[in-house]
Amino acid sequence: MSQVDRRVMRIPIPVPLIREMDAVILKGVGGYATRAEFIVDAIQERILELSADGTEDAGPPPASPGEHTRAARVAARAEPLAVDEPSPVTSPASMPMTALAAPDDGFVVTEDADLSRPEGRPLFGLHNRDYPSLWALTKLAAMTLDRPVPIESYFTELLQEAWRFGELLLAIEKHTGTKCTALFPTNPEKRKPAEMGFRSFAVGDYRTDGDKYATNGPLFEWRLIGLTEGERNEPLVGVTATGWALLAGVGGISVEEPHPFDAAKAFFAHLAEQTPADWKGFTEVIRAIGPDGATRQDVLNHMAEAWSDWTENEVSTNSAGYIARAREWGLVEPKQTKSRYHLTPLGHEHTNGAAR
């Protein structure tokens, strides 16, 4: 693992807070060995939250799922998507309101026509949930029943809906006490960073590269969406054949974790076939934890060996991202036991290399 520059900083910390931190370290909770390790990790987690979507409360949500404004376009081919136009709250916000629903089929960006060129790399740690990406895919599916759309038009409409959906998620958090807003924009005081975080880490982005487009981010890396030629150097975007197939496999999942077993199997099979670099992140986390469990430092050491070109900060951030995603899909237990991560039965199934 490469070294990073270090600098000593003197920061006053309330004594009671120091004592609480020391108590956690002494008990071995979280696998921290020193104050410095604890504080650095806390700072990284805070940066992750603020740079992705912000964490401050945006206030009481004024809306809940309502009638879909594109119902005529979707017609009998799909259930209404979870949130669109706001309507007065008539019932407590709940997880089932976030269930994904998409058309059965629509316009397909064929492999021959696809001008996107993904990086073929593991997803950076700020992508720490997969549900927001699949939610964004359902939105594109509903927009492209008959033809692809300009990609910037897709982003504009997607971000508007993401803010409304974020309000629903805040309401669910208040009603259930379960945090579920990861990646979604919820803090209007930091509107631009929140939108940039959602666009970059939940969907992806593109840039012109000759007669093709260099792309990054989950929907491109997973080969779920593709680009075709548009006008004024702005490509059109649509769902690929593998994208439509995956939508069928994960349909009905909600923000509630872990996702259903069958949906998890469909998602893993897709990653193993279409995105080996991202799937490797899951497999290495599973190997790091192993049948007997592992501490946080065990996982970091394993990931540093698997990706020797990652910096120390990249190892920490990316490991946290893959552990969070592994928990989301039911591979890793939600809580540590005696400062050790442990695999679920599904996680144990994958220790023998069974990807699907």
User: pLDDT tens digits, residue range 97-117?
Assistant: 999 999 999 999 999 999 999
CA distances from 122 to 221, 254, 310, 315 (A): 9, 24, 11, 12
The CATH number that applies at residue 267 is 1.10.10.10
How does residue 253 score in pLDDT terms, banded at 50, 70 and 90?
very high
Say whether both 154 and 277 belong to one domain.
no
Say whether both 188 and 275 belong to one domain.
no
Show which of 221, 250, 279 is a domain's final residue.
Answer: 250
Say whether both 37 and 86 belong to one domain.
no
Report the domain count for the chain. Answer: 3
Say whether both 192 and 277 belong to one domain.
no
For residue 330, the model assigns a pLDDT of 97
For residue 16, the model assigns a pLDDT of 62
For residue 64, the model assigns a pLDDT of 37
Q: What is the DSSP string of 131-175?
A: HHHHHHHHHHHHH-SSS-EEHHHHHHHHHHHHHHHHHHHHHHHHH
Say whether both 329 and 291 belong to one domain.
yes
For residue 232, the model assigns a pLDDT of 72
CB 327 within 8 A of CB 341: no
For residue 6, the model assigns a pLDDT of 63
Sign of CA dihedral 234, 147, 215, 84: positive
| Domain contains 63 | no
Say whether both 32 and 175 belong to one domain.
no
Q: Does 240 score more than 80 pLDDT?
A: yes
Show which of 5, 25, 52 is a domain's final residue.
Answer: 52
Say whether both 232 and 325 belong to one domain.
no
Average pLDDT, the chain: 84
| Domain contains 113 | yes
| Domain contains 356 | no
What is the spatial distance between Cα 308 and Cα 306, in angstroms, rounded to a whole number? 6
Residue 24 sits in which domain range?
A: 15-52
Q: Please give the residue that has the higher pLDDT: either 319 or 230.
A: 319
For residue 82, the model assigns a pLDDT of 41
Share of the chain above pLDDT 90, in %: 66
| Domain contains 3 | no
Say whether both 137 and 186 belong to one domain.
yes
Say whether both 224 and 87 belong to one domain.
yes
Say whether both 295 and 160 belong to one domain.
no
| Domain contains 299 | yes
For residue 31, the model assigns a pLDDT of 57
Say whether both 265 and 127 belong to one domain.
no
CB 191 within 8 A of CB 180: no
| Domain contains 336 | yes
* Predicted structure pTM score: 0.76
Residues present in the chain in total: 356
Show which of 250, 280, 295 is a domain's final residue.
Answer: 250
Q: Does 58 score more than 90 pLDDT?
A: no
Q: Please give the residue that has the higher pLDDT: either 23 or 86.
A: 23
| Mean pLDDT confidence for 330-342 | 95
Single-letter residue type at 321: G
Q: Does 312 score more than 90 pLDDT?
A: yes
| Domain contains 144 | yes
| Domain contains 61 | no
Say whether both 277 and 169 belong to one domain.
no
Q: Does 76 score more than 80 pLDDT?
A: no
Q: Does 205 score more than 70 pLDDT?
A: yes
